[in-house]
Chain A
Amino acid sequence: MNNNAIMSKQTRRRDRLVQTRRTVIQGALAGGLAGFAGLVPLTRARAAADANKWPKDAFAQKNEADAIKALYGKTPEISDKVSLDAPEIAENGAVVPISVNTTLPGVTSIAIIVSENPFPLAASYPIPAGTAPMVANRLKMAKTSKVTALVESGGKIFSASKEVKVTVGGCGG
């Protein structure tokens, strides 16, 4: 399939980072993801911290509070307007289907924390204008843990949590 024929000029400009041919590039981006900044026009105002960069610091935190602090710098307040759908008992900790939805307005970010994981921040999703404040994904859980959905709305952070029991751990036993 000749991707070049259907890719726009704009996307071809990003060839340096994103291969249009189905090959794997090694090492070219080993240095980091600085180039991703070029994917979104710099004139775009953002409420959240630079949403284009992979939040390295937050992913490296070993406890929930530090992960949230590194990601948002704010303390979340519990809100019943955040819906977290997660099983009561995970069939297998290696693949736990979890989804987040919210009726809060002006959502700019959704993140999911698994408190008992070695690195509590599991995933973070910047939400641009025009995109629904919703995400469904599949996560690994090392053991029974509280799972928390964080939603950034109007510059504040809201959360909802659920305890998910895990009998077969997702990190190798």
Chain B
Amino acid sequence: MRRALLLAMATLALAAPPVFAADTTNPQADFRAFRKYFTERFPKVPLNDFVNGPYSMDAGLRKQWEEIDAFPPYQFAVDKGKQMFDTPFANGKTYADCFPNKGIGIRQNYPYFDSKSGEVITLDVALNQCREANGEKPFDYNKDDMAALTAYMAFTSRGKPFAIEIPDDPRALAAYEKGKEYFYTRRGQLNFSCASCHVQNPGGHLRTEVLAPALGIVAALPIYRSEWGGMGTTSRRLTSCNSQVRAAPLKPEDPSYRDVEYFLSYMSNGLPVSGPGARP
């Protein structure tokens, strides 16, 4: 009798209806597990160094990066971004009017979940919302203008620890969970997930590149890539990540991209903004 009961209970547990899945979203537990995984795998890497991507993994690359970063080529994009940021819109208002703290030193708070619209708002999206609210045309999420503007905003926030919030709202938790799922889902002809490279093989080589660890990977965005010969937005990087595994890229700032950025940013909580970053 007892055995039958235990068996029944076990079967019930295994056949738990989907509604319990939402209750099991536990960002704090994920956060701890994620951090533990990386710090245990790379015990010699100081926690804050993970934000330097491949340079936290390879000494030879690091030396080249330090030399370049001493007087970095993204200086021009940052200067352009500052000029854009300081220039008022046609209606006389400025970006500073749209953001807390006049838009200075706030990059570490993005993305955030907007309860009113039920959307995850990334910094790039917030900037375009600001533009449109003031009668300006939005910037292309993949092009230089957005790259320069976000480079400046990252620059004024350097060193500030990520402080991503997931409010106690089922929609926010769902967005976080979808982002996490996107991160771990295989896609494309190469059938890689983000995790295949950035969780299973950080420090390893994928063809000629050294893979960055997923912990802190968003901290350096936007990035100046030697390969691009210029500054590129978060969208551009996510799009090219998809292309690199031969998956059809999504539209810039697609909900899936925003969700995965939300997930990865939350995982980086406490780590310093290191952007804009120079990368190979």
Contacts and interface: CB of A to CB of B under 8 A. Distances in A.
Interface of A: 87-92, 94-97, 136, 138, 167-168
A96 B54 CA distance: 16
Interface stretch (B8-16, B59-67, B85-93, B264-272): B59-67
B229 interface: yes
Given A167-B208, A168-B208, A91 B280 contact: yes
B17 to A, nearest CB: 51
B249 interface: no
Interface of B: 54, 60-61, 63-65, 67-68, 73, 207-208, 210, 226-227, 229, 280
A91 B226 contact: yes
Contact of B229 (A91, A94, A138): A94
Given A91-B61, A168-B208, A97 B226 contact: no
Nearest to A170: B226
B24 to A, nearest CB: 41
Nearest to B66: A97
A87 B68 CA distance: 12
Q: Top 9 A-B pairs ranked by shortest CB distance?
A: A167-B208, A92-B226, A97-B67, A92-B280, A91-B280, A95-B226, A94-B226, A91-B61, A91-B64
A136 B63 CA distance: 14
A107 B280 CA distance: 34
A138 B208 contact: no
Given A94-B226, A97-B68, A167-B208, A87 B63 contact: yes
A74 B223 CA distance: 45
Nearest to B210: A91
